[in-house]
């Protein structure tokens, strides 16, 4: 059964327990950072940072807000990264996680480009680099544990469970608290749906979410042209042979005519 | 039966001012490449998580497009039976082959785990466009090599083998055309997965067609360009018949492509972006004006005037235009969403330039020792 | 859309591809699955070493190495969760910066030398002995035996285990040390000074999980989302159940981001704000009338001579800066008990006096002082006063925003008054939750690592008041309240300290305890006095049990200079800190600093065993997961060794000064000290047959029992490890209120919510059936209890139930009146019986309420480095406040050395409003300098709408806020090397009138572009 995580932004207190516990569980090194006039750090996801909280200040309905937004791989239902990966290093597992087989990866980074959320990162500073991203703690999930970040979240802003139940929970929360939540579940339809879902009290665009993403699963877009291959191969083979045959015939006919003429 | 008259290419000098510079650049490339392999991508390129693909991919896309001359001319000669182009076929194939080899070298250095380059051969993931491209390129490079084989074999007088290859020429050519059609278009399909990332000036579901179309277009331009340069450098007689024929083709293809592109832009409602100013629209205008509109006009006019300079200039402009297009799609068009300004590092340039220099050197050496500029006569 | 599926594709390609696809999987040897890394690891439970929430952590070890740490899912408080700090605990044992060797710095040297532990300890013992013997004061000028030394000081302990704190208390007092302080002074000393006199005890009344039962959570003077993140688990639960979250803070904090109502107020003005709410509450009759009448001293009549005028209560002496408190008392009836007027109508009754006092806190005045708008004020007051309804409960969560002011005690007093008015005390979901700070600051305070107390909140012997044991007991024991048992607690403590040597004949060695005098410049021995004395060269040796005063103390320039005046500094720590390396600080010349420094590597919390007490008074056990790193040893080990060494020295030296308290110390815990022996001593036992006591009700005052800390008694009632109730892990919660009485052990007597008699009406019916802690079943005439009753409910001798009417007359058993106090009599709070607003020590404005500008009873220090900006200073017009970040811990060593946390908050910054930034032409992220008369500090500008200027009496007043976690030493320091980024370079050595807690939360400054 596919799993999912519900991120309820109305509950996140920005404590970044998730950020640290992710590093702890996954054995990721710290980065050397500087203060850029905000609490947010490190500046971006990196090969040693699978998740981070974005801090966003703004105003909605004349009320000041300070939003904390957890970011990590969304574990798309039909992941662009998986379809992009030419060696099958990335895979969508039936339990939900998009996993990575480091033994296969050739480091082409097409997955990074393909990801609509720009999630996968690369070990740029290594001679033999790998792609890195949130694993959905697949190792924990398969042991019946919750992902490290979810487990650590003090304010229950993160909830892990069966995708269907999680989705219902999201709908329930919105329906029973229409004043508290924006009536939208981010990730329900984005790029064909993601295993991680977000609900919020502040409009998603103000929080810097990519709100323009297509609803269609991205792999469809390339798949559409890939499925044409057999037709192209078959079609071209026929057409080319036909053409060749015709031109050949023409030439032979021409030759014959020439000889006929000279004979005649 | 064809007979081949070998022209006197032995006199082509290997060490000129130009070739020494090329050798230097190629050597610089080799050193850079070794450095790149030892220390990794981060230290040698300006690539980053936000800009995972850069100059090398842009160059790779361009190289494949430019090498489109191979299949274009094979098709012209063998399938459409435009015999006169047989004269430039060998060059087209050689340029194609060298293009694909350069492509592979850059790609080898481009991927993070270079020594796993063989993985796609055994690890299959047929949902990936890149997988398809990789296979097509591998196969097509083999095809090109086989097509080029006779030239090598000739020299070593291995006529039996030549015969065998000649026997399979047509199937080979057809395979080449099919593979090229697939991967030339698929290189465009690579970007279909980026509807939300690639700038609307370039993102279109027709990208594969545009890529294929422009590959044919630039293939022709390449041969024109090569004919002119070779004639200057190697002192070969320019075949005006061939050139004027190619110009007619090119005018046709160019205007077709231009119209195709315009209709697509208008259709998608992306026209406003063309004139908003800024990096993207400037680069788009550059690509279209320099690479398409001006050449169309010049070539069209040249059909009525007896002057070769505009033809030569146009061919250069078309080549620049297509390279710009590939760079626009793979770099410029992705800049806004990544929020980062990317400019290639010195090493990226060194390697790119080194590979191209190497290709040019190889071309020179091959034309010196093998019969590429052959002349074909009818024996009858 | 093209809907060709994978299968169709295969079909199309005739199955050729699938056949080949099998190949790759054969060829790629490496597999996808990573091993579950903790599959074969050993699990040990521990408690988070950071904040006083006390979250449970599981430590996974393999081959003696910590390989993973994560939340303990069974733990009822955190249910497996951990904040960023708790999640980073892994990096404490696994850290290259941890001290693994003893380091010694010779006088004037500029380097550390690695030394042998045994050598170092014996050297330290020699230094201590020499300093003590040279400075020992056996008798004071008045002829009282005082047996004290004022040349040695001891600080720290809140990061240590209870058993370690107990041994610190024991050894330090045996040495006669009176400059004896620790984090509690800087932290919640004002809490104890306010809550004690109001309710009888100084602790957090409820506990973390209980917050979920609240109808309204008022977060004022604290920021739990950042500093007690796990509190938010329960705040969120309350919110889900419909509770309102209110936040009053000068800054829009992470807590504020989750609030329903946020009010921005000027730092230092809570008394005005709460005064306004009290006024609003009384005026609009929103208080809980029955509660007020029955459970408080509202109806008590006050001395007719009691007066209040222009900010001063009657009896003020401006020379002494102190009050004569004789009129601050009740009228007494014939039995000597306070007279009452149950109608609350008498103008002399507490209620009417209070009403009159607060009638001055009008909306207009409150608005002008605090800078809160009228609308916001009313919104806030209305929302919180809702909880005055019977059955509703609201809680106040506060911490340093309240405690660290010159008016701090009265800040908290005003919270207490409000909570009593609304009937919120003793209620589930109510109470005053003084959120303790350090993981074991509750325990270290219980252990009285403070000059003025001995373990269990009993006064330290004072030379003036307590020359003999008899005098001590006479003065300190009230006739009513549970404190009437004090002699039992005190004598048992002396028995625990000096064992068989303590006999009735020798007053149980009462004279072995040092007696305190008036302290440095008459200002006592507390933190500020201690460092003023050190700066003055009076203190020769400092023993530091895990503090970093060079960063955490106020006026760090004075503090650092003070350290230079020491002969020796003994420091037990996990890291090299700003304190132990003060001689190597930016700008210092080591060759001119004579202080000898002994730096000992201490074991971290997962490298030792023992108990700690969280803010909710839960005593929890932590187990040892691994051996200490390198040469590190537990503090218990050091204390044991140091004692042994000192005893040896004192035994050997027949010229030693008063060696008795040391050589006779009852100290036998083994060579490798057994922490369970110490824990059992704390619990108490019978002297004759060494049987563990059930709890403190079994203590006696005749020397037949020994008990190291009476309030904790009951936590280790039997001889075996299984009897250790701190290690209980029973998760049953019949009440559904989250009491978890079978998990760990809460003092006193495992009561989870204190003053719980007040959760029910006089007939013993709970105000709210869903919030029943105790319940009188009138059918069976029985008390049916969810919690341990905090009142006389069962006759100890007969076992009969005590009817509710009786206990309703004594709901607050720790106070002599047995009722909670709106009015605090007899100067138990020095500023007066009712809280009154005064301006902070440094303020940009005049006090609008009276002509008393500042707290009339605070001590003004006058060393050359003690400087003060004028009112309305043109040079320093900006108010500054200091605060904490979730990701950093205190003075920094515990988090600035952990790369995962340093990464999140790498550098010192200052929060300022966009308007101020504009006026000063400051850009976001650039380095600026914050300056005042005492010092300056570099910080990156963090320009944010979370900070705004306040309209104070028509004048826009800017506020800047500085985190105080940075310094000059560590994996990160706060910025580029060789600078000091400690905010405390700016704060003043000035304290509250009762406990001298420093005013860290308000001072004046200017901010400059660099
Ligand atoms: N992450 C983390 N957690 C900690 C600590 C830590 O260092 N880091 N330290 C622990 C310790 S020892 C303690 S004591 C606690 C302290 O916990 P808190 O008291 O929550 O800590 P602070 O951030 O110092 O102060 C709280 C708030 O008081 C506000 N404030 C300042 N002045 C006033 C005022 O006059 N009135 C009001 N209403 N608010 C005011 C500040 O803006 C600040 O937001 O935290 C403990 N927990
Ligand atoms: N400006 C300003 N200053 C403040 C405050 C404020 O709000 N504003 N708050 C004040 C408050 S509330 C407090 S509590 C103080 C705290 O001030 P401190 O107690 O001085 O600060 P910490 O950073 O907690 O001290 C950490 C030290 O404890 C050591 N340690 C940790 N565990 C152990 C152990 O098991 N054994 C031993 N031996 N050492 C150990 C570490 O090595 C580290 O050196 O600061 C106060 N200072
Ligand atoms: S978010 Fe990106 S990396 Fe993650 S599954 Fe989706 S496409 Fe792949
Ligand atoms: S970088 Fe690795 S994982 Fe990503 S697409 Fe390429 S091979 Fe697949
Ligand atoms: S699911 Fe696991 S890997 Fe992903 S962000 Fe959470 S902790 Fe990190
Ligand atoms: S742990 Fe939870 S509350 Fe803390 S930042 Fe992460 S999501 Fe937010
Ligand atoms: S710091 Fe406090 S809230 Fe955070 S994990 Fe530790 S005890 Fe829990
Ligand atoms: Mo504290």
Which tens digits make up the pLDDT trace of C432-468?
999 999 999 999 999 999 999 999 999 999 999 999 9
Residue C15: the pLDDT is 41
Say which range, A72-86, B236-250, C544-558, C657-671, has the weakest mean pLDDT.
B236-250
Quote the tokens at residue B307: 């002057």
Q: Which residue has the tokens 């400690």?
A: C982
**Cα→Cα distances C920→A107, B20, C916, C943, Å:** 49, 61, 6, 12
Is C236's CB within 8 Å of A11's CB?
Answer: yes
Find the closest chain B residue to A242 by CA distance.
Answer: B79
Contact residues on chain C for B124, CB-CB shorter than 8 A: 17, 20-21, 23-24
Say which range, C68-77, C347-356, C792-801, C955-964, has the weakest mean pLDDT.
C792-801
Alpha carbon distance C709, B353 (integer Å): 81
- Which residue among A17, A42, A66 places its CB closest to the CB of C82? A17
CA of B208 to the centre of ligand 4 (A): 22
Q: Which residues line ligand 2 (CB under 6 A)?
A: C 49, 159-160, 183, 186-187, 400, 404, 437-438, 545-549, 552, 572-575, 577, 602, 604-605, 635, 882, 889-894, 964, 983-984, 987, 1000
Q: In this prediction, what percent of chain C has a pLDDT beyond 70?
A: 97
Residue A262: the pLDDT is 61
Taking only the tens place, the pLDDT of each residue in C145-184 is 999 999 999 999 999 999 999 999 999 999 999 999 999 9
Pocket test for ligand 1, best of C227, C615, C962 (most atoms within 8 A of CB): C227
Give the phi and the psi of residue B307 in degrees, each rounded to 5: -135, 135
Contact residues on chain A for C908, CB-CB shorter than 8 A: 35
Alpha carbon distance A170, A164 (integer Å): 10
Q: How far is B305 from chain A (nearest CA, A)?
A: 32
Residue A246: the pLDDT is 86
Give the phi and the psi of residue C551 in degrees, each rounded to 5: -110, -35
Alpha carbon distance B256, B210 (integer Å): 11
Digits of tens for pLDDT over chain B (380 positions)?
Answer: 333 344 566 777 888 899 999 999 999 999 999 999 999 999 999 999 999 999 999 999 999 999 988 888 888 888 888 888 888 888 889 989 999 999 999 999 999 999 999 999 999 999 999 999 999 999 999 999 998 888 888 878 788 888 888 888 888 989 999 999 999 999 999 999 999 999 999 999 999 999 999 999 999 999 899 889 888 888 777 888 888 889 998 999 999 999 999 999 999 999 999 999 899 999 999 999 999 999 999 999 888 887 888 999 999 999 999 999 999 999 999 999 998 999 999 999 999 999 999 999 999 999 888 888 765 433 32
CB C639 within 8 A of CB C608: no
Q: Which chain residues have CB less than 5 Å from ligand 8, an ion?
A: C 187, 437
Q: Is the CB of C893 under 6 A from ligand 1?
A: no
Pocket test for ligand 3, best of A81, A89, A121, A186 (most atoms within 8 A of CB): A81
Is A103's CB within 8 Å of C28's CB?
Answer: yes
Is B124's CB within 8 Å of C28's CB?
Answer: no
Pocket test for ligand 6, best of A8, A12, A134 (most atoms within 8 A of CB): A12
- Whether A66 contacts chain C with CB within 8 A: yes
Contact residues on chain B for C1, CB-CB shorter than 8 A: none
Is B39's CB within 8 Å of A127's CB?
Answer: yes
Contact residues on chain A for B125, CB-CB shorter than 8 A: 85-88
> Pick from B176, B170, B152, B175: which is nearest to B162 by CA?
B152
CB C833 within 8 A of CB C313: yes
CA C553, chain centre distance (Å): 15
> Pick from C855, C38, C157: which is nearest to C445 by CA?
C157
Count A/B contacts: CB-CB distance under 8 Å: 176
- Which residue among C258, C901, C903 places its CB closest to the CB of A13? C258
Q: List, in order, residues 6 or more apart from C633 with CB less than 8 Å away.
A: C117, C600, C601, C602, C603, C641
Is A236's CB within 8 Å of B181's CB?
Answer: yes
Helix (H, G, I), strand (E, B) or coil at C880: strand
On whether ipTM exceeds 0.90, the answer is: yes
CA of C895 to the centre of ligand 7 (A): 13
pLDDT, mean of residues C856-867: 96
**Cα→Cα distances C102→C544, C580, C649, Å:** 15, 12, 22
Output the residue whose Cα is nearest ligand 6's atom 1. Answer: A153
Residue A263: the pLDDT is 55
Beta pairing, strands C745-746 & C618-622: antiparallel
DSSP-derived secondary structure for C676-722: HHHHHHHH-EETTT-PBPSSGGG--SSSSEE-S-GGGTTSS-SSSGG
- The model's confidence at residue C523, banded by pLDDT at 50, 70 and 90, is very high
Helix (H, G, I), strand (E, B) or coil at C141: coil
Task: Sheet containing C65-71: give its strands across.
Answer: C42-47, C56-62, C65-71
> Is the model's pLDDT at C778 over the cut of 50?
yes
Is C23's CB within 8 Å of B122's CB?
Answer: yes
Q: How far is A259 from chain C (nearest CA, A)?
A: 47
């Amino acid at each position: 059964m596919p799993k999912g995580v519900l991120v309820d932004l109305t509950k996140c207190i920005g404590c970044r327990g998730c950020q640290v516990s992710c590093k702890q569980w996954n054995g990721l090194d710290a980065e050397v950072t500087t203060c850029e006039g905000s609490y947010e750090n490190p500046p971006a996801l990196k090969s040693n940072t699978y998740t981070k909280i974005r801090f966003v200040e703004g105003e909605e309905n004349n009320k000041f807000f300070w939003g904390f937004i957890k970011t990590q791989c969304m574990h798309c239902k039909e992941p662009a990264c998986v379809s992009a990966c030419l060696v099958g290093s990335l895979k969508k597992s039936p339990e939900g996680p998009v996993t990575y087989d480091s033994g296969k990866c050739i480091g082409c980074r097409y997955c990074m480009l393909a990801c609509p959320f720009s999630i996968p990162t690369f070990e740029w500073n290594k001679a033999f680099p790998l792609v890195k991203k949130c694993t959905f703690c697949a190792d924990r999930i398969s042991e019946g544990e919750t992902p490290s970040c979810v487990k650590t979240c003090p304010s229950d802003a993160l909830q892990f469970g069966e995708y269907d139940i999680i989705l219902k929970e999201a709908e329930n929360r919105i329906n029973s608290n229409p004043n508290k939540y924006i009536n939208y579940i981010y990730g329900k339809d984005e790029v064909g749906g993601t295993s991680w879902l977000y609900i919020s009290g502040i409009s998603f665009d103000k929080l810097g979410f990519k709100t323009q993403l297509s609803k269609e699963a991205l792999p469809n877009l390339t798949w559409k042209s890939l499925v044409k291959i057999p037709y192209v191969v078959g079609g071209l083979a026929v057409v080319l042979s036909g053409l060749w045959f015709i031109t050949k015939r023409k030439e032979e006919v021409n030759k014959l005519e020439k000889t006929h003429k000279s004979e005649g | 039966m064809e007979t081949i008259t070998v022209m006197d290419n032995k006199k082509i000098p290997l060490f000129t001012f130009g070739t020494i510079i090329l050798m230097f650049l190629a050597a610089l490339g080799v050193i850079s490449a070794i450095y790149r392999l030892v220390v990794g991508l981060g230290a040698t390129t300006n690539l980053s998580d936000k800009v995972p693909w850069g100059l090398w991919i842009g160059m790779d896309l361009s190289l494949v497009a430019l090498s489109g001359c191979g299949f274009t001319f094979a098709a012209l000669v063998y399938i459409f039976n435009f015999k006169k182009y047989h004269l430039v076929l060998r060059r087209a194939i050689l340029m194609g082959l060298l293009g694909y080899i350069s492509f592979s070298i850059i790609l080898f250095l481009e991927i993070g785990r270079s020594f796993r380059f063989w993985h796609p051969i055994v690890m299959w993931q047929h949902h990936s466009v890149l997988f398809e491209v990789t296979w097509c390129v591998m196969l097509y490079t083999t095809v090109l090599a086989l097509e080029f084989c006779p030239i090598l074999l000739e020299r070593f007088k291995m006529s039996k083998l030549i015969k065998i290859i000649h026997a399979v020429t047509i199937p080979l050519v057809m395979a080449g055309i099919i593979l090229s059609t697939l991967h030339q278009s698929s290189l465009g399909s690579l970007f279909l997965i980026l509807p939300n990332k690639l700038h609307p000036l370039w993102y279109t579901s027709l990208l594969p067609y545009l890529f294929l179309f422009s590959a044919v277009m630039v293939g022709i331009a390449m041969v024109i360009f090569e004919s002119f340069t070779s004639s200057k450098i190697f002192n070969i007689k320019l075949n005006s018949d061939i050139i004027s024929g190619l110009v007619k083709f090119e005018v046709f293809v160019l205007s077709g492509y231009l119209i195709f592109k315009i209709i697509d832009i208008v259709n998608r409602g992306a026209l406003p972006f063309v004139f908003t100013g800024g990096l993207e629209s400037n680069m788009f205008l550059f690509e279209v004006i320099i690479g398409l509109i001006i050449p169309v006009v010049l070539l069209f006019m040249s059909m009525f005037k007896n002057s070769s300079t505009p033809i030569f200039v146009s061919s250069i402009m078309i080549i620049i235009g297509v390279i710009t297009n590939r760079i626009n799609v793979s770099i410029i068009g992705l800049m806004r969403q990544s929020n980062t300004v990317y400019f290639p590092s010195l090493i990226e340039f060194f390697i790119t330039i080194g590979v191209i220099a190497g290709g040019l050197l190889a071309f020179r050496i091959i034309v010196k020792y093998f019969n590429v500029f052959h002349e074909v006569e009818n024996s009858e | 859309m093209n809907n060709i599926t994978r299968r169709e594709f295969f079909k199309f390609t005739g199955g050729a591809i699938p056949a080949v696809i099998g190949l790759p999987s054969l060829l790629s040897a490496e597999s996808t699955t990573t091993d579950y890394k903790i599959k074969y690891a050993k699990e040990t439970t521990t408690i988070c070493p950071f904040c006083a929430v006390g979250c449970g952590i599981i430590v996974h070890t393999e081959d003696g190495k910590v390989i993973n740490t994560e939340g303990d899912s069974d733990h009822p408080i955190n249910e497996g969760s951990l904040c960023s700090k708790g999640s980073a605990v892994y990096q404490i044992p696994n850290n290259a910066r941890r001290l693994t060797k003893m380091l010694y710095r010779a006088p004037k040297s500029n380097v550390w030398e690695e030394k042998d532990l045994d050598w170092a300890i014996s050297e330290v013992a020699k230094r201590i002995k020499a300093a003590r013997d040279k400075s020992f004061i056996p008798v004071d000028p008045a002829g009282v035996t005082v047996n004290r030394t004022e040349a040695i000081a001891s600080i720290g302990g809140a990061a240590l285990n209870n058993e370690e704190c107990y041994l610190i208390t024991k050894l330090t007092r045996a040495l006669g040390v009176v400059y004896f302080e620790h984090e509690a002074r800087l932290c919640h000393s004002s809490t104890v000074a306010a809550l004690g006199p109001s309710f009888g005890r100084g602790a957090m009344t409820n506990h973390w999980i209980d917050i979920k039962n609240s109808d309204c959570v008022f977060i004022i003077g604290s920021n739990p989302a950042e500093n007690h993140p796990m509190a938010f688990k329960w705040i969120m639960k309350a919110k889900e159940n419909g509770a309102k979250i209110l936040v009053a803070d000068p800054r829009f904090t992470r807590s504020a981001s989750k609030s329903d109502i946020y009010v921005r107020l000027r730092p230092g003005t809570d008394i005005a704000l709460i005064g306004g709410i009290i006024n609003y509450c009384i005026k609009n009759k929103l208080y809980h009338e029955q509660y007020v009448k029955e459970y408080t001293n509202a109806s008590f009549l006050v001395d007719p001579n009691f007066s209040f005028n222009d900010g001063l209560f009657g009896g003020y002496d401006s020379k002494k800066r102190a009050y004569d408190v004789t009129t601050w008392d009740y009228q007494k009836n014939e039995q000597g008990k306070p007279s009452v007027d149950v109608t609350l109508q008498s103008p002399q009754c507490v209620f009417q006096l209070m009403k009159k006092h607060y009638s001055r806190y009008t909306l207009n005045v409150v608005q002008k002082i605090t800078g809160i708008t009228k609308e916001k004020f009313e919104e806030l007051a209305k929302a919180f006063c809702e909880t005055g309804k019977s059955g509703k409960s609201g809680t106040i969560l506060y911490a340093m925003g309240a405690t660290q002011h010159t008016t701090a005690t009265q800040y908290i007093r005003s919270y207490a008054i409000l909570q009593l008015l609304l009937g919120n005390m003793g209620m589930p979901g109510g109470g005053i939750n003084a959120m303790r700070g350090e993981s074991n600051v509750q325990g270290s305070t219980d252990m009285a690592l403070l000059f003025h107390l001995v373990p269990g909140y009993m006064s330290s012997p004072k030379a003036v008041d307590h020359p003999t044991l008899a005098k001590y007991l006479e003065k300190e024991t009230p006739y009513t309240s549970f404190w009437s048992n004090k002699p039992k607690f005190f004598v048992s403590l002396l028995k625990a300290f000096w064992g068989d040597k303590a006999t009735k004949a020798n007053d149980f060695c009462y004279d072995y305890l040092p007696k305190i005098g008036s302290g440095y410049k008459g200002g006592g021995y507390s933190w500020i006095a201690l460092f003023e004395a050190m700066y003055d060269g009076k203190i020769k040796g400092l023993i530091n049990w895990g503090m970093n005063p060079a960063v955490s103390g106020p006026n760090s320039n004075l503090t650092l200079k003070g350290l230079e005046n020491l002969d020796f500094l003994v420091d037990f720590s996990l890291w090299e800190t700003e304190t132990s390396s003060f001689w190597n600080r930016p700008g210092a010349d080591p060759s001119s600093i004579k202080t000898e420094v002994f730096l000992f590597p201490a074991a971290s919390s997962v490298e030792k065993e023992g108990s700690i007490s969280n803010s909710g008074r839960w005593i929890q056990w932590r187990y040892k997961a691994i051996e200490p790193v390198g040469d590190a040893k537990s503090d218990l080990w050091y204390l044991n060794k140091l004692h042994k060494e000192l005893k040896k020295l004192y035994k050997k030296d027949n010229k030693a000064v008063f060696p008795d308290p040391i050589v006779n110390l009852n100290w036998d815990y083994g060579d490798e000290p057994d922490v369970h022996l110490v824990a059992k001593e704390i619990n108490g036992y019978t002297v004759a047959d060494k049987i563990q006591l059930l709890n403190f009700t079994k203590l006696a005052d005749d020397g037949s029992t020994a008990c190291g800390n009476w309030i904790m008694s009951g936590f280790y009632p039997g001889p075996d490890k299984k009897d250790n109730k701190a290690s209980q892990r029973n998760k049953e919660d019949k009440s559904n209120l989250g009491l978890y009485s079978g998990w760990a052990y809460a003092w006193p007597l495992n009561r989870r919510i204190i003053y719980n008699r007040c959760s029910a009406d006089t007939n013993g019916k709970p105000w709210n059936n869903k919030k029943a802690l105790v319940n009188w079943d009138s059918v069976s005439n029985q008390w049916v209890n969810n919690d341990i009753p905090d009142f006389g409910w069962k006759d100890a001798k007969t076992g009969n139930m005590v009817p509710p009417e009786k206990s309703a007359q004594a709901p607050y058993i720790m106070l002599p009146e047995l009722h909670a106090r709106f009015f605090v009599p007899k100067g138990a709070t020095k500023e007066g019986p009712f809280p009154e607003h005064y301006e902070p020590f440094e303020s940009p404005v005049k006090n609008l309420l009276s002509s008393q500008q500042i707290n009339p009873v605070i001590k003004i220090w006058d060393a050359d480095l003690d400087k003060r900006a004028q009112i309305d200073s043109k040079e320093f017009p900006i108010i500054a406040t200091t605060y904490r970040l979730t990701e950093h811990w205190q003075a920094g060593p515990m988090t600035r050395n952990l790369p995962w946390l340093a990464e999140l908050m790498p550098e010192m910054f200052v929060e300022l409003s966009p308007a101020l930034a504009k006026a000063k032409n400051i850009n976001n992220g650039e380095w600026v300098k914050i300056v005042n008369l005492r010092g300056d500090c570099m910080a990156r500008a963090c320009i944010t709408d979370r900070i705004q200027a306040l309209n104070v009496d028509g004048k826009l007043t800017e506020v800047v806020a500085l985190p105080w976690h940075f310094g000059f030493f560590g994996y990160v320091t706060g910025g580029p090397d060789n600078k000091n980024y400690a905010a405390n370079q700016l704060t003043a050595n000035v304290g509250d009138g009762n406990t001298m807690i420093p005013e860290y939360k308000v001072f004046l400054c200017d901010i400059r572009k660099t």
